Amino acid sequence: MIDPHVHLRDWQQANKETVCHGLKIADEVGLDAVFEMPNTDPLIIDKNTVMKRIKLADSCNINIFHGLYIGLTIHKEQITEAVKLHKKLFPRVVGLKLYAGPSTGSLVVKDHGHQKFVFRTLKKLNYNGVVAVHCENETLFESDKWIPHIPITHSEARPPAAEISSVKNILKIAQDIKFDGSVHICHISVPGSVTEIEKVREQDQIKVSCGITFHHALLYKQLMKKTNGIFLKVNPPLRDLEIQKKMFQMILDKKIDVIETDHAPHQLVDKLREPYSSGISALPFYPKFIQILKENGMSDNEIDDLTHNNINKIFNMNIQNTHKNRSVISKNEYEYDPFDFLNN
């Protein structure tokens, strides 16, 4: 099993998560590989940070594949360096990450014109790897709706339209320039995003894929009304129960290519108070999620596709699926079980 979307923080944010701890949990739950995101502090956007990160992960001595994305900025020299590093260090550098909407940290390219520039630059550099994109259009946020002591308002402040609009924009840019790489839309949370992706797939001009998290597959915004509902603040936010049910069905209907945890732990103090950090610690619950898929009728082969084979295909990799199938749920002081919200 491969998790193509984890945040292992470390460095200036080692109080949230560390590379060695994250890799250890990934190994314990039976994963063969994790691909980690570059919105760290400092950001993983150049040769120096990439090499430091690889050295750090190797020092953990944990026997699973550690891959990383390089973040994209609006600077031509930076994009050029990222492409060179990808070429030289693939598959260790698995691809590039574009934050088309804001999330944790400062790595974001929100302007539509700037997003076009990034893709055009990649095209000129003959980049043919994966660009994973966080799609949310900030101009459609209704930020004044966010009231911290009413956690559910986070979902209202970042509505479905913001995600769908961003997915549409990014795919249009990629189609217009006949992008040679593969566009992976991260953590989709609403059926409208799948519709946009399907339209593009039908035209068969560019390579496109999408992933979903456990939380968008199983949790819904009304749960944020429960005690400690603020723990469920994530980006994109949780949606209505009706939407969540449709998303789960879309997994069963094979409309979604991959499962990605978007593992993003924070300390409780950061979740409960300013800055009310967005993100859930999800890696420990991988076995539980697989079990839920099985209980809902997915076959082992279908689960292999969703958790492994499709990821190998999208990223053009050849990671072995060892079916370790372990089921340790390892917790520590800053982890809590998001599934608990479904029970009580």
Q: Which is nearer to Zn ion, 73 or 103 (by Cβ)?
A: 103
Closest approach of Cβ 300 to Zn ion, in Å?
A: 28
Count of residues in contact with Zn ion, rule CB under 5 A:
1
Residue 335 near Zn ion by CB under 5 A? no
Q: Which is nearer to Zn ion, 30 or 101 (by Cβ)?
A: 101
Closest approach of Cβ 284 to Zn ion, in Å?
A: 17
Closest approach of Cβ 279 to Zn ion, in Å?
A: 7
Residue 136 near Zn ion by CB under 5 A? no
Residue 260 near Zn ion by CB under 5 A? no
Residue of minimal Cβ distance to Zn ion: 262
Residue 262 near Zn ion by CB under 5 A? yes
Q: Which is nearer to Zn ion, 257 or 262 (by Cβ)?
A: 262
Residues 219-258 as x/- pattern, contact with Zn ion by CB under 5 A: ----------------------------------------
Q: Which is nearer to Zn ion, 6 or 298 (by Cβ)?
A: 6
Beta bridge partners of 222: none
Cis before 275? omega within 30: yes
Query: Contact positions toward Zn ion, by CB under 5 A?
Result: 262
